Amino acid sequence: MVNRTLEWHRIVNAKPSPDTIDRRTAAITDLVKAYDEATDWEVILQSVAGVVAGFEKNHSQDSSAVGLVFRSLQGKDSTVPQDLTDNALELRAAAATALGEIISRSPDKYPDSTALLVAITFQTGLGIRPRPKERHLKAMLDELDQASRSTLQRAQKMIRQRTPSGKKILSIDENAAADPAAAIKNLTKAAKEMASEFANQSSLDREELDILWWLFSGASTTSGLSVNDLAAGKAALVVGAEIANMCLLPPPNNANAFVRRGISLTKNPDAKRSLEKIIAETDSATWALFDAEADGSLGEDYPAICTLSWVCAKLKSSAVTTGWLPEFSAKTGLDASQSFDAFAVAEQAFKERIAQRLYSSMNGG
């Protein structure tokens, strides 16, 4: 979204000069390239966390994300100060524009792995987080949220395209080839393609059936109890996580409807309660649903992105549901006294498990 440089830079300066925008556009182009060339996900995920919650939250002056954005900016404008405390909004605007460009490019193709991870972590980090009141900042985050949703919709649509199985193998005439060996080779190749098509369509069918049977039974596979018998807090996390675990990646467009249908089975899902009270209704079996995945945990390492996962990891290590509030607020920038209904919490739990699974698959998990 380099074309949004002017509008998104307004979070820093409501009336930037044309020269400033030219310099920022050039710097953001360099930043996109730097993100593409990153050798691990840390700098990208740190940047996502900085965009959704602010770089002033849990980012040190010497963090890899802060250093990367500053180098890109100063490479085109030596007057940019390198003090994080004074320049957090400058970093936020630049990182948002560069990451927005990554998720929005090549709109006719399947998104690359970086675009997918950025899109799902933007969706997760922005999930239950209240939007800021500042007009330009809110507009920027809203646009990023929509761009992320569009990228994930494009990806899920492509992997769920139904193709007629066996079309190529039926078109082969084993007697038409002058070379029998070539005919057998073509037939073998077509048969393998047909088997792959069958396997893919079987996975799609299984995804739908697993979720529909889960909704039909109304019972948690974690506890074996009916969702209606679970406290709303536990039900919200269980429903979101269990449905997420049944989805292919990225999940289908109607996944939120599945989650909302699942949580509607519990008692008083519309009642709003503080996140503190919701978490108090969970237990160790619930926390285990958000265990660390292979090669690191999004929740433990990036609490601004996966807030519920961070709480679950914290509670699992302490084995109690108290004492986490001060650290939660400091690490996530959220107030645990904010009120949410069970639908919102279940949808957030769903997004976090999807993000964890995608991150794990990219790290060999």
Length in residues, the chain: 365
Confidence of residue 262 (pLDDT cuts 50, 70, 90): very high
Least confident piece of the model among 48-62, 121-135, 189-203, 233-247 = 189-203
Look at residues 92, 124, 159 and tell me which one is the last residue of a structural domain: 159
Q: Give me the helix-helix angle, 255-263 and 180-217, nearest 10°.
A: 30
Q: Is the dihedral of CA 298, 304, 309, 312 positive or negative?
A: positive
Contact 353, 249 (CB under 8 A): no
* Helix spans in 54-176 (H): 64-76, 84-104, 113-126, 135-159, 167-170
147 and 107, same structural domain?
A: yes
- The tokens for 222 are 């974690």
For the chain, percent helix, then strand, then coil, each to nearest 5?
Answer: 65, 0, 35
Phi, psi of 293 (to 5 degrees): -95, 180
- pLDDT of amino acid 231: 93
CB 234 within 8 A of CB 282: yes
Cis peptide before 250, with omega less than 30 degrees from 0?
Answer: yes
Residues 84 and 9 placed together within one structural domain of the fold: yes
In this structure, are 191 and 151 located in the same domain? no
Nearest Cα residue to 269 out of 321, 234, 304, 301: 234
Q: What is the pLDDT of residue 320?
A: 80
When pLDDT is cut at 50, 70 and 90, the band that residue 174 belongs to is low
Whether 209 is covered by a domain: the verdict is no
High-pLDDT (> 70) share of the chain, %: 89
187 vs 18 pLDDT, higher one: 18
337 within 8 A of 268, measured Cβ to Cβ: no
155 and 8 assigned to the same domain: yes
pLDDT at 189: 75
In a domain, 212, yes or no: no
Q: Is 38 a domain residue?
A: yes
State the Cα–Cα distance between residues 332 and 223, nearest whole angstrom.
29
Mean pLDDT for 121-144 is 97
pLDDT of residue 177: 55
Return the amino acid letter for 269.
Answer: P
Instruction: State the average pLDDT for the chain.
Output: 90
Indicate if the pLDDT at residue 339 is higher than 60: yes
Q: Answer whether residue 335 is part of any domain.
A: yes
| pLDDT tier, 293 (very low <50, low <70, confident <90, very high otherwise) | low
Predicted local distance difference test score (pLDDT) of residue 297: 78
Residues 324 and 226 in one domain: yes
Give the highest mean pLDDT range of 192-196, 316-320, 347-351.
347-351
249 and 315 belong to one structural domain = yes
pLDDT of residue 152: 97
Residue pair 309/297 in contact (Cβ under 8 Å)? The answer is yes
Q: Does 191 fall in a domain?
A: yes
* φ/ψ of residue 219, rounded to 5: -120, 140
Least confident range of 20-34, 164-178, 216-230, 233-247: 164-178
Instruction: In whole angstroms, give the CA distance from residue 59 to residue 54.
Output: 9
The answer to whether residue 249 sits within a structural domain is yes
Residue 263 within a domain: yes
Question: Which one of 147, 182, 204 terminates a domain?
Answer: 204
Q: Is 82 helix (H, G, I), strand (E, B) or coil?
A: coil
324 and 345 share a domain? yes
> Residue 278 pLDDT > 90, yes or no?
yes
> Does 331 lie in the same domain as 256?
yes
Containing 273, the helix (H) or strand (E) segment is strand 273-274
Structural domain total, the chain? 3
Q: For residue 30, what pLDDT band results from cuts at 50, 70 and 90?
A: very high
pLDDT, residue 196, reads 67
pLDDT score of 295 more than 50: no
- pLDDT for 294 equals 46
Say how many Å lie between the first and final Cα of the chain, rounded. Answer: 31
Beta strands at 339-340 and 273-274: parallel, antiparallel or unpaired? antiparallel
- Angstrom distance (rounded) from CA 53 to CA 352: 16
Q: 86-120, pLDDT tens digit by residue? A: 899 999 999 999 999 999 999 999 999 999 999 99
Q: Assign 296 to helix, strand or coil.
A: strand
Q: Which residues contact 101 (CB under 8 A, 6 or more apart)?
A: 1, 2, 28, 32
- The whole-angstrom separation of Cα 203 and Cα 187 is 24
Q: What is the pLDDT of residue 203?
A: 78
**Does residue 280 or residue 170 have the better pLDDT?**
280
pLDDT at 199: 66
Q: What percent of the chain has pLDDT over 90?
A: 74
Co-location of 109 and 7 in the same domain: yes
Q: What's the whole-number mean pLDDT along residues 14-22?
A: 95
Query: Which two three-digit tokens encode residue 89?
Result: 């909004």
Q: What residues make up the domain containing 173?
A: 163-204
Mean pLDDT of 141-159: 96
Helix, strand or coil, per DSSP, at residue 340 = strand
Looking at the domain assignment, is residue 68 inside a domain? yes
Contact call for residues 287 and 249 (beta carbons, < 8 A):
no
Domain match, 11 and 119 both: yes
Average pLDDT over residues 273-297: 84
Q: Which of 175, 204, 233 is the last residue of a domain?
A: 204
pLDDT of 169: 60
Q: What are phi and psi of 226, to 5 degrees?
A: -65, 140
Phi, psi of 273 (to 5 degrees): -140, 160
Please tell me the predicted confidence (pLDDT) of residue 289. 93
The helix/strand/coil state of 339 is: strand
Residues 234 and 343 in one domain: yes
Residue 63 shares a structural domain with residue 179: no
pLDDT value, residue 154: 95
Residues 281-302 have a mean pLDDT of: 82
pLDDT of residue 4: 94
